[in-house]
Structure 1
Amino acid sequence: MDKWLWFARVTKSRTLAQKLASGGHVRVNRDKIDSASKAIRLGDVLTITLDRRVLVLEVAGFGTRRGPAPEAALLYKDLTPPPAPAEQGARPQRVAARDPGSGRPTKRDRRRMDAFTEEPADGFLDGLRPGRDDPE
């Protein structure tokens, strides 16, 4: 198991693959495994829980070495479901964009960006000094 995870480039090192498998973060055909030396076969479905995502991979082959990414992609078929759509009614994040190559923002620029991205409240511009720091 740990060699296959490493060959398929799921983890960066074989030690991390061993910890992932023996830590209970890998399921083979819905059965949780507790050993890094678990044998897998073609067609087995692996469910791997990583930090911020869950991978569902079907074993499509076995490698003899840890090769480049295109070679590693031949070892599995990705069955991971697409991410859930954003919640209905959730407001998109406001982002203050700057011109590329305009350099590091000044303190005045940062205040303007903060005023732009913060949630509007009663008197949210009160902290800015009139005349000098007025947003344009």
Structure 2
Amino acid sequence: MASPGAAGSIRLDKLLWFLRFARSRSRAQAVVEAGHIRLDGRRIARSSCAVHVGQTLVLPVGEQIEVVRLLTLPVRRGSAAEAQACYQKLTAPVTTDNRAIKDDGNAVHPNPAPPPNQ
């Protein structure tokens, strides 16, 4: 239960669980306590840290890093659409081409060899 002075805030672990960034509240606590979350640029290691509307979170999601701004506080763990309505993604979608062969049939080389000196 939130303390009376924390009106308009929510615990960080509860927020991550409500917004579906963690499958359970205990997993959310583990991610926070491991130091993987930043709140307005500061590394957070306490899962009881209060989060307010307008703050920016940087957190790992799978193998990517997401930057989100909190628009509203969720009141429950609802559907994915309900959760996504509570925040705005600030990171651009990553568009990497993971193919090994181009459309023309040539191999993709991430670091092409420099041309030989003549």
Q: TM-score, normalised by structure 1?
A: 0.61
Asked if 1:71 corresponds to 2:78, the answer is no
User: What is the distance in 2 between the residues matched to 1:18 and 1:63?
Assistant: 18
1:36 is matched by which residue type in structure 2? S
C-alpha contact 2:56 2:69 (8 A) present in aligned 1: yes
Shift of 1:85: 4.5
Deviation digits for residues 31-54 of structure 1 (CA, Å, limit 9, x no counterpart)? 000100110111100000244100
Point out the structure with the larger strand share. 2
1:59 maps to which residue? 70
Q: Match of 1:93, as an amino acid?
A: A
Q: Among all aligned residue pairs of Structure 1 and Structure 2, give the percentage whose two residues are the same amino acid.
A: 32
Size of the aligned set, in residue pairs, is: 92
**TM-score normalised by the chain length of structure 2:** 0.70
Once residues 25 and 12 of structure 1 are traced to their aligned partners in structure 2, the CA distance between those partners, rounded to angstroms, is 16
C-alpha offsets along residues 18-74 of structure 1, whole Å, 9 cap, x if unaligned? 111111010001100010011011110000024410010101111121001111111
Larger RCO (CA under 8 A, 6+ residues apart): 2
Moved over 3 A (4+): none
Unaligned 5+ segments in structure 1 are: 95-136
Unaligned runs of 5+ in 2: 1-11, 102-118
Q: Which structure has the larger Rg? A: 1
After superposition, give the CA deviation of every residue in 1:59-100 in whole Å (9 maximum; x if it has no partner). 1111121001111111111112232655xxx9x424xxxxxx
